């Protein structure tokens, strides 16, 4: 029982990370219909910036919360620039594959530039959350503990969701963003500057990525340039499971994937070493039953 609870908690801690990266993927997909394969590496780059700002030996020694905030601002601007400079020119191309190629190029480029600038040694990221853990219950000799950092992660993700929901559903900018997402041409005819909205979508996604990356790095004992690669695979799985256009779906699916992953590692010996089967199988099962994902909307096709 104790083991089970601990694994579920582990899964939640990972799932929160998958959920927030999936959130960024979904945000970009909703606004620009681009699947951003460079999302993980953009987050990695921002994570290194956070580390550089916060580290006392090699960096500027800022408090970690300030470092994350600054890094998010930088990522926000960089995300907008990437959309405008790299993505926009190829979006009009006849084949949507071209955008995929650009994000893949970005993926390779950012990863190697990050290694060049910040070195290949594992680095340590301080955590913004207090240490220690809370005792959930103890029965007999069993105790289950919940690390405070996990609680922190959950709170951050909740805050992100509420903020995004408010922004998208309750502000004028959010309304315009949704209009552009649902039909760029008619949005433009209504006087919405759709280019700016696309930039905004990418900028917000990049900022969310920066936050997620920094927190993942703090969760680990050390991080290097491969930090985000497995995270990205699971986040993609979560985004697909949640049905690409649903923010809530991304978060819930992130948690589902995280918990399922942790439980498989613990209990299913047959899958030892190939746990990645799990998100894949989850996607397949869900998509066969519900082709638009758990939370996705059904689309009607006009011929």
Partner 1 sequence: MATPSDSSGAATEPAIGTVPEALAEPTVGEGARPSIWPPVPRLVLGIRIVIGVALSVAALYAPFYFTPENNRILSQAIYLSIAAMGLNLLTGFNGQVSIGHGAFFGVGAFTTAILMVDHDWTFEATIPVAAALSGLVGLLVGFPALRVRGLYLALVTLGLAVLFPRVASKYVEGAGGVALLRPKRSGFASLIDGLDDDQWAYFLCLAIAVVLFLLAWNLVRGRMGRAMIAVRDQEIAASTVGVNLAGIKVGTFALSAAYAGVAGSLSVMINRIADATNPVLYLQLSIEFLVAMVIGGAATILGPAVGAFILVFLRRNTEDLIEGKEILAPAIFGAALIAIVYVLPEGVVGGVRRLLARLGRRSAGSAARPAPASASDVPNDSINPGGSHEEGT
Interface contacts to partner 1, rule CB under 8 A: 29, 35, 86, 89-90, 93-95, 97-98, 100-102, 104-109, 111-113, 115-116, 120, 229, 233, 236-237, 240, 244, 272-274, 276-277, 279-280, 283-284, 287-288, 291, 293, 301, 303
Indicate the residue among 199 and 257 with the shorter CB distance to partner 1: 257
- C-beta pairs of 263-272 under 8 Å, 24+ apart in sequence: 263/4, 263/7, 263/8, 263/11, 265/7, 266/3, 266/4, 266/7
Q: Cβ(11)–Cβ(84) under 8 Å?
A: no
To partner 1, the closest distance from the beta carbon of 231 in angstroms equals 12
To partner 1, the closest distance from the beta carbon of 93 in angstroms equals 4
Q: Which residue has the tokens 């497995």?
A: 230
Angle 10-12-15 from CA coordinates, rounded to 5°: 110
Indicate the residue among 3 and 104 with the shorter CB distance to partner 1: 104
Indicate the residue among 218 and 235 with the shorter CB distance to partner 1: 235
To partner 1, the closest distance from the beta carbon of 17 in angstroms equals 17
Indicate the residue among 221 and 288 with the shorter CB distance to partner 1: 288
Indicate the residue among 11 and 293 with the shorter CB distance to partner 1: 293
Question: With 0-12 CB in 10 A as exposed, 13-18 as middle and 19+ as buried, what is 256?
Answer: buried
Question: Which letter, b or e, does each residue of 114-145 get, where b requires 16 or more Cβ atoms within 10 Å of its Cβ?
Answer: beeebeeeebebbbbbeeeeeeeeeeeeeebb
To partner 1, the closest distance from the beta carbon of 219 in angstroms equals 21
**Which three-class secondary structure state does DSSP give residue 139?**
strand
Indicate the residue among 199 and 238 with the shorter CB distance to partner 1: 238
To partner 1, the closest distance from the beta carbon of 206 in angstroms equals 18
To partner 1, the closest distance from the beta carbon of 99 in angstroms equals 9
Q: Which residues pair with 143 in a beta bridge?
A: 138
To partner 1, the closest distance from the beta carbon of 244 in angstroms equals 7
Indicate the residue among 98 and 182 with the shorter CB distance to partner 1: 98
Indicate the residue among 77 and 274 with the shorter CB distance to partner 1: 274
- Between helix 247-267 and helix 148-170 the angle, nearest 10°, is 160
Question: Between the CA of residue 141 and those of 137, 144, 208, what are the distances in Å?
Answer: 11, 10, 41
To partner 1, the closest distance from the beta carbon of 237 in angstroms equals 7
Helices (H) and strands (E) in the chain, counts: 12, 2
258 contact partners, CB below 8 Å, separation of at least 6: 11, 12, 13, 14, 15, 16, 17, 18, 19, 234
């Amino acid at each position: 029982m104790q083991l089970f609870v601990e694994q579920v908690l582990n899964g939640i801690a990972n799932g929160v990370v998958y959920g927030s990266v999936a959130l960024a993927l979904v945000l970009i997909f909703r606004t620009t219909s681009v699947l951003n394969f460079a999302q993980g590496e953009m987050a990695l780059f921002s994570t290194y910036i956070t580390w550089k700002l916060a580290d006392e030996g090699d960096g500027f020694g800022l408090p970690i919360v300030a470092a994350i905030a600054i890094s998010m601002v930088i990522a926000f601007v960089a995300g907008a620039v990437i959309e405008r400079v790299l993505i926009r020119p190829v979006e009009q191309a006849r084949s949507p594959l071209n955008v995929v190629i650009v994000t893949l190029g970005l993926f390779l480029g950012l990863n190697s530039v990050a290694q060049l600038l910040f070195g290949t040694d594992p680095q340590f990221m301080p955590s913004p959350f207090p240490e220690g853990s809370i005792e959930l219950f103890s029965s007999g000799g069993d105790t289950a503990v919940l690390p405070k950092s996990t609680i922190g992660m959950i709170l951050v993700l909740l805050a992100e969701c509420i903020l995004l929901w408010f922004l998208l559903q309750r502000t004028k900018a959010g309304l315009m963003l949704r209009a552009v997402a649902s039909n760029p041409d008619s949005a433009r005819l209504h006087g919405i500057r759709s280019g700016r909205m696309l930039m905004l979508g990418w900028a917000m996604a990049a900022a969310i990525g920066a936050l997620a990356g920094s927190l993942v790095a703090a969760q680990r004992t050390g991080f290097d340039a491969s930090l985000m690669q497995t995270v990205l695979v699971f986040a993609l799985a979560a985004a697909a499971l949640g049905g690409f256009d649903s923010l809530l779906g991304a978060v819930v699916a992130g948690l589902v994937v995280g918990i399922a992953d942790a439980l498989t590692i613990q209990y299913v010996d047959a899958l030892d070493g190939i746990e990645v089967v799990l998100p894949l199988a989850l996607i397949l099962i869900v998509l066969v039953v519900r082709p638009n994902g758990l939370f996705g909307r059904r689309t009607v096709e006009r011929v």
